[in-house]
Structure 1
């Protein structure tokens, strides 16, 4: 009887873990896309819309999210920790990260028009935990007078970034052992990126577009029998001094890198961002789309696959930008 009870409890625990995982995937982004694109043009030209006003302003900011590991003692405000787990895969069993493959960042774009101000903040992270978002919002309310509804939090949904922010069984199953100092670092860097963007506000123009990226996304639940959202959506802001920022949103899970990868990495969204910035864009920001049933379509996987996928999406983005500026 006791054995049967233990077996039942194990099944219940794993069922709850799977359910929690699905909920986490659905919560990966609080960014809600508003479709303001025009109807498709003849000849396959990109869908675009443009907005330019002397009253419209935009500002760009960033802050590192990569912690320094191997410290003698934790110093959260400095981003220094003895160890930090990666968030995303339960079968890592809370093991600490072994190093950094590529830097992870928080990036922000602030907008101001008609007397209103808002800021989009996205991190190279699995999600923005509620407690971290609340702490960041309280910080920005005190320093900039922003209400919660003026702040849009999102994440790239990489499964190879900051863990340790979740409590209790479900949180620790996906993010590793809880460390309250990691929440402190996380919230501090979100606020820093937003503050940098708000301090950079200047006259700007804004364009929006969307292109088809069917080749890089699949339905990971039912394969070819299922539907996918193939669109890669773009916002393109250009300041009066010529500096530019791109916000991109796409539905393919950032899981080109599997659970055996134990280094910090932003996966293919990081490659997309770095490629754009290497081509002259001042700030490239990725926000996860409706990733729930959507997986990346790329072979091989690993760092080679993330490089191929991210670079291809970036090159297509760069081809489209002249049509929406």
Structure 2
């Protein structure tokens, strides 16, 4: 065999070897190691132990609130559905806002921020952390959340995978949104006054469905809310519900807040201020019967508002003095973006598409109510476990999703093998991510002071 022929054979074997090795480079088996045996679990426990919650009992809690318009002028990208491929909206049906509550008991201060967005974008979290020192704040003092509207604006992600869901990156949107959030914090801080606070809930089982299992048992059916009442009778409401705001057509080029906007606007016809945050929305969808655009959103929003108003006058309020918060890094396994029952794409490919972002669990304690923030579409099927832990601790618990990171849908491990969108395409970190995150949230909840009674006196101190 001459030299040229030998080179040809050598090249042939080279390409054959590449073809044989290529699948092994991009496809791997699902890792089903129990999370309790992993290093990431042990590191997260260490983070929890080394970073206990800040809980203070000071003077009577003062509360302030404010909202700032965050709507980019049309055209701008929509966020929420990959099949849009970054489609722009042409008109604005209802304005998007950032709504913020400020809390101060003389010992410390904290803030609750809700954005009329699909999620709290990872780049926004990154930019806000540059701004917090200018406000005299640490990141753990600002509790971030979103309404999860699938028809609000995007433009806030650089990676290819994020652009598919949120449109082309626009630096101006990120810069403006960051400053608008900062402005809302400053305005709420200026509006602080001694305020009575009460917790309430209403059963809204007729308005939520478990779209993953179709079971009527595995649902979070509660519409939860906090009532804020000032001595002059002024009232504000912060509400939470675990159903995806997905009542509007996916390919309609119109910006809207979906049913949370209808709920908030309805309430603000009767009280001074209202805000909404998505609860444990993973696997939960809204139930409605109207099919024309915006009629479904109006149906769900108006019915939720009616339920809340019915309970509102029965909720007693009192002055409280306890305020607490925490933020703990959540360590994660390698990404497991699944392509079949037992196979996943290599983590490097996932990270190339979506990027690597820090994830945290967050908490905010107001009296005996503790809010827990998850960096995910957190399933309402876990609420029973969180409520059981809260009862043991003498607390009320509210879970919210989308706190500035995003690790996909997290659902119970027994659902992992279902051939469903949530468990196949959007379960990014393996079969145990939901159970792992829930245990961490339970441990975070136990950090908070269960001896945090409301002040019986009507007079602030």
Does the CA-based 8 Å contact 1:137-1:151 persist in structure 2? no
Corresponding residue for residue 148 of structure 2: 157
For the pair 1:64 / 2:56, whether they are aligned, the reply is no
Corresponding residue for residue 303 of structure 1: 294
1:297: Cα distance to partner? Answer: 0.9
- Distance, in Å, in 2 between the alignment partners of 1:319 and 1:139 is 40
Does the CA-based 8 Å contact 2:117-2:149 persist in structure 1? yes
For the pair 1:197 / 2:195, whether they are aligned, the reply is no
- Distance, in Å, in 1 between the alignment partners of 2:82 and 2:258 is 18
Q: Equivalent of 2:218, from 223, 227, 241?
A: 227
Greater C-alpha radius of gyration: 2
1:181: Cα distance to partner? Answer: 1.3
1:114: Cα distance to partner? Answer: 4.7
1:254: Cα distance to partner? Answer: 0.6
**3-state SS, counterpart of residue 313 of structure 2:** helix
- Distance, in Å, in 1 between the alignment partners of 2:272 and 2:119 is 24
1:116: Cα distance to partner? Answer: 1.4
- Distance, in Å, in 2 between the alignment partners of 1:226 and 1:293 is 13
For the pair 1:249 / 2:206, whether they are aligned, the reply is no
Q: State the superposition RMSD in angstroms.
A: 2.1
Q: Equivalent of 2:281, from 291, 305, 308?
A: 291
Normalised by the length of structure 2, the TM-score is 0.55
Corresponding residue for residue 26 of structure 1: none
**3-state SS, counterpart of residue 223 of structure 1:** coil
Corresponding residue for residue 109 of structure 1: 101
1:225: Cα distance to partner? Answer: 6.4
Does the CA-based 8 Å contact 1:247-1:286 persist in structure 2? yes
1:309: Cα distance to partner? Answer: 0.7
Q: Equivalent of 1:88, from 58, 73, 80?
A: 80
Q: Deviations over 1:57-99 (max 9, x none)?
A: 0001100011123xxxxxxxxxxxxx31100011111111110
The 1:126–1:208 alpha-carbon spacing in structure 2 relative to 1, beyond 3 Å, is same
Find runs of 4+ consecutive structure 1 residues off by over 3 angstroms: none
Gaps of 5+ in 2: 1-14, 28-57, 317-461
Aligned length: 264
Query: Where does 1:169-188 land on structure 2 (aligned, <5 Å)?
Result: 169-188=160-179
Q: Deviations over 1:153-193 (max 9, x none)?
A: 10000011111101121110100111111111211111111
Corresponding residue for residue 453 of structure 2: none
1:133: Cα distance to partner? Answer: 2.0
Corresponding residue for residue 267 of structure 1: 258
Gaps of 5+ in 1: 14-52, 70-82
- Distance, in Å, in 2 between the alignment partners of 1:139 and 1:155 is 19
**3-state SS, counterpart of residue 323 of structure 1:** coil
Q: Equivalent of 2:307, from 316, 321, 325?
A: 316
Normalised by the length of structure 1, the TM-score is 0.77
- Distance, in Å, in 2 between the alignment partners of 1:137 and 1:316 is 37
For the pair 1:139 / 2:131, whether they are aligned, the reply is yes
> Which is bigger in relative contact order (C-alpha 8 A, separation at least 6)?
1
1:258: Cα distance to partner? Answer: 2.6
**3-state SS, counterpart of residue 162 of structure 2:** helix
**3-state SS, counterpart of residue 120 of structure 1:** strand
- Distance, in Å, in 1 between the alignment partners of 2:69 and 2:163 is 24
Q: Deviations over 1:193-233 (max 9, x none)?
A: 12111110111111011111100000111213661100111
